[in-house]
Amino acid sequence: MGITVEGANKRFGDFQALEDVSISVPDGSLTALLGPSGSGKSTLLRAIAGLEDLDSGRVMINDEDATAKPAQKRGVGFVFQHYAAFKHMTVFENVGFGLKIRKWKKPEISDRVHELLRLVQLDGLAGRFPSQLSGGQRQRMALARALAVQPQVLLLDEPFGALDAKVRKDLRTWLRHLHEEMHVTTIFVTHDQEEAMDVAEQLVVMNNGQVEQSGSADDLYENPANEFVMSFVGEVNRLGDSFVRPHDMEVVLDADARTQEGMVQRIVALGFEIRVEFVLGDGTEVWAQLTRNELQRLELREGQIAYLRPVQAKSFNGSSPSQDHGASTPRGSADEGDAEKPAAV
């Protein structure tokens, strides 16, 4: 059950949007496709939905080969970044659209629409038009619309991308609760790693049309397969060939064999965490994440010299991130959980 994509390839003119992409999404799970612009995540999502045709490869939905099926027949609910609201229809008509074309009877449509509107907390706005709703409301309507026809799979394409930060956070939480209630297999696309880590059970990191790694948020954070994944999921400092997380960067006042000298450039307080930016002897800029207590204890000031010691570092010799034309080394795994190359400390 669930969703499986095998060997998907898609080209737009000269641009290879998807290159030999395979992923597996367990039934009932909440998965995020995470990556920068142009990484192919939206294309992959649309291919699963049937809104794009693949050049080669297979899409399996609940153990059935859906590759040849048009979007209409795949039983997927799709939510668009810019809502794709039917602007000439009321909220009620929008949500009831799928039911109407399935020839449900009026009272049944009404019951179901109102049930869904209650679920997305838009009850009472049934007679409004999308142009009279805020962005957040429109997106909730779009969700209700997609859920109305009881899809096997729910796909969301950067659903909160067009919304304000605060609304984004609220809807994020709300989506998670919704999933806990409904347990529909859900895939959503985002470029925001915090969002992905907050909401999803499984993350699939993509870059340049290929899957870099997939796994839980913890897996990807602790055991990134390559430099790209490490710097995309979480913050990272680069020291030569090594990569160090800012909270793994210990700051001490005395030098020893393992430390490097750095001068404090700037101290920024971001709520509970403090960000201390250093410049090293060779000009490299790094930053360390300290708690307020640590900062007070060290009594750091701008211009001061201190010493940095990585508690844990990773290097990725030979496991370079995907290139535009695809390296021959196999990329991050198709199944959840295993990182391609264990981190070297």
Partner 1 sequence: MEAHAANPPASPRAGIRLPGLGAGLGRGTVVLYLSLIVLLPLAAVVNQSLEGGLSAFWTAVTSPQALASLKLTVVCSLIVVVINAIFGTIIAWILVRDEFPGKAAINAVIDLPFALPTIVASLTLLALYGHDSPFGVDIAFTRTAIVVALLFVTLPFVVRAVQPLLLEMDREMEAAAASLGAGGMTIFRRIIFPNLLPGLAAGVALAFARALGEYGSVLLFAGGLPDTQVSSVFIRSQIESGNDLGASAVSVVLLIASLILLACITLIQRWGSRHERDGDGGGLTVMPMSGDVIVKKQGDGDDE
Partner 2 sequence: MSSSTASRWGLRTLGLGYLALLLLAPLVLIFFKTFEDGIGAPIDAITSTEGLHALKLTLIMVAIAVPINTIFGIGCALLLVRHKWKGNAAIDAVINLPFAISPVVIGLSLFLLYGADGWFGPALSEAGIKILFSIPGMVLASVFVSLPFVVRETVPVLQEIGTDQEQAASTLGANAWQTFWRITLPAIRWGVAYGVVLTTARVLGEFGAVTIVSGQISGQTETLPLFVEKQFFNFNTSGAYGASLLLALLALMTLLAMNLLKRKEA
By the criterion CB under 8 A, which residues form the site for partner 1? 49-51, 70-74, 76-78, 80, 82-88, 97-98, 101-102, 129-139, 142, 145-146, 149, 162-164, 167
Q: How near is the Cβ of 64 to partner 2 at its closest, in Å?
A: 20
Q: How near is the Cβ of 62 to partner 1 at its closest, in Å?
A: 16
293 binds, among partner 2, partner 1, none (CB under 5 to 8 A by kind): none
What x/- string results for residues 89 through 128 when contact with partner 2 is judged by CB under 8 A? Answer: ----------------------------------------
Q: How near is the Cβ of 182 to partner 1 at its closest, in Å?
A: 17
Q: What is the three-state SS of 68-90?
A: CCCHHHCCEEEECCCCCCCCCCC
Q: How near is the Cβ of 162 to partner 1 at its closest, in Å?
A: 6
310 binds, among partner 2, partner 1, none (CB under 5 to 8 A by kind): none
Residues in binding contact with partner 2, number by CB under 8 A: 4
251 binds, among partner 1, partner 2, none (CB under 5 to 8 A by kind): none
26 binds, among partner 1, partner 2, none (CB under 5 to 8 A by kind): none
70 sits near partner 2 (criterion: CB under 8 A): yes
Buried b (16+ CB within 10 A) or exposed e, 232-257: bbbebbebeeebbbbebbbbeeeeee
Q: How near is the Cβ of 12 to partner 2 at its closest, in Å?
A: 15
Three-state DSSP at 127 gives coil
Q: Which residue's CB is nearer to partner 1, number 130 or number 332?
A: 130
51 sits near partner 2 (criterion: CB under 8 A): yes
Q: Provide the strand spans (E) within the chain.
A: 3-12, 15-25, 30-34, 56-61, 64-65, 76-79, 153-157, 185-190, 202-207, 210-215, 237-239, 242-244, 249-252, 260-270, 273-280, 285-291, 305-310
Q: Which residue's CB is nearer to partner 2, number 50 or number 159?
A: 50
71 sits near partner 2 (criterion: CB under 8 A): yes
Radius of gyration of the chain (CA): 23
102 binds, among partner 1, partner 2, none (CB under 5 to 8 A by kind): partner 1
Other beta carbons within 10 Å of 92: 19
Q: Which residue's CB is nearer to partner 2, number 70 or number 330?
A: 70
Q: DSSP assignment, residue 319?
A: -
Q: Which residue's CB is nearer to partner 2, number 36 or number 70?
A: 70
* Residue 128, C-beta contacts closer than 8 angstroms, at least 6 positions apart: 90, 91
Which is it for the CA torsion 176, 178, 184, 189, positive or negative?
Answer: negative
Residues composing the chain: 345
Retrieve residue 134's tokens: 């805020």
What is the C-alpha to C-alpha distance for residues 291 and 288, in angstroms, rounded to an integer? 10
Binding site for partner 2 (CB under 8 A): 50-51, 70-71
